[in-house]
Amino acid sequence: MSFNPYASESASRIKVRSDPKEIEESKKIDHPLIEGKKLDMSPSEMNNFTKAMKHDEFQSIMSEYVDEISDPKHREEHDQYLHEMVERGEMPPGSQLIQPEPGFCLKTTGKRMVSDTKKTFFDQKSFLNVCYHESVDKPRQVSCKGPDGKNGSSWQLPYRCSKGKHDQDNKKEVCMTYDVVFHSDVRNFVV
């Protein structure tokens, strides 16, 4: 066997056949809002969807749909569904349903991946709802020495963060909302 000094180590591991599922998965389109996820759409379906998004009628229908799912009057129905899940024991393992006390909201932007293969991103407006609840561990101050040898303090600030929820801002533009929950004692440091 001859040795090629210019070939990479993986040259001898070139795949000559691919699994049909891998080929099918590689043809799927990257999800524009969820990193690492693929849309279950063919390129032609995506092309048709993109064309439809340019029509005023489609945009109007889509806006009505987002308005409906974002309407606070549906909140009670959603909360009832969650409580039923708790009663039936259908909550995901390790999760707990809590009703945090509202605090304040931070507005920021986050980088969202458009294409995993092309590594392209866009800035998306995001809102962080800072809330408080007793079930989150209390903040702790720990005495320590800094790099310069001086005595100081280090803080441990436990929190819980929800998964991002697709929402819309007051201009009806799509944004992401996250709930970040701290122990109620943190409120004393913020105010």
Give the integer Cα–Cα distance in Å for 186 and 144. 21
Which burial class, exposed, middle or buried, applies to 188 when counting CB atoms under 10 A from its CB (0-12, 13-18, 19+)?
exposed
pTM to 2 decimal places: 0.60
Give the integer Cα–Cα distance in Å for 106 and 102. 12
Give the integer Cα–Cα distance in Å for 105 and 111. 19
For residues 118-130, give the mean pLDDT. Answer: 83
Collapsing DSSP to helix, strand or coil, 9 comes out as helix
- Residue among 134, 140, 141, 125 nearest 181 (CA): 134
- List the domain boundaries for the chain: 98-191
Q: Is the pLDDT of residue 159 over 90?
A: yes
The DSSP secondary structure of 19-58, one letter per residue, reads -HHHHHHHHSEEPSSSTT-EES--HHHHHHHHHHHTSHHH
Given the structure tokens 């099918």, which residue do they identify? 24
**Of 47 and 3, the one with more pLDDT:** 47
Please give the pLDDT value at position 114.
Answer: 64
Share of the chain above pLDDT 90, in %: 25
| Band of residue 5 on the pLDDT scale cut at 50, 70, 90 | very low
- The neighbour count for residue 9, using CB atoms within 10 Å, is 6
Residue 162 backbone dihedrals phi, psi, to 5 degrees: -75, 165
Please give the pLDDT value at position 179.
Answer: 93
Residues 6+ apart with CB under 8 A from 160: 136, 180, 181
Tens digits of per-residue pLDDT, 128-156?
999 999 999 999 999 999 889 999 999 89
| Band of residue 1 on the pLDDT scale cut at 50, 70, 90 | very low
Collapsing DSSP to helix, strand or coil, 114 comes out as strand
The DSSP secondary structure of 143-160, one letter per residue, reads EEE-TTS-EEEEEE---E
For residues 104-127, give the mean pLDDT. Answer: 80
Q: Which of 2-11, 50-59, 71-80, 82-91 has the lowest mean pLDDT?
A: 2-11
Cα of 191 vs its chain's centroid, Å: 28
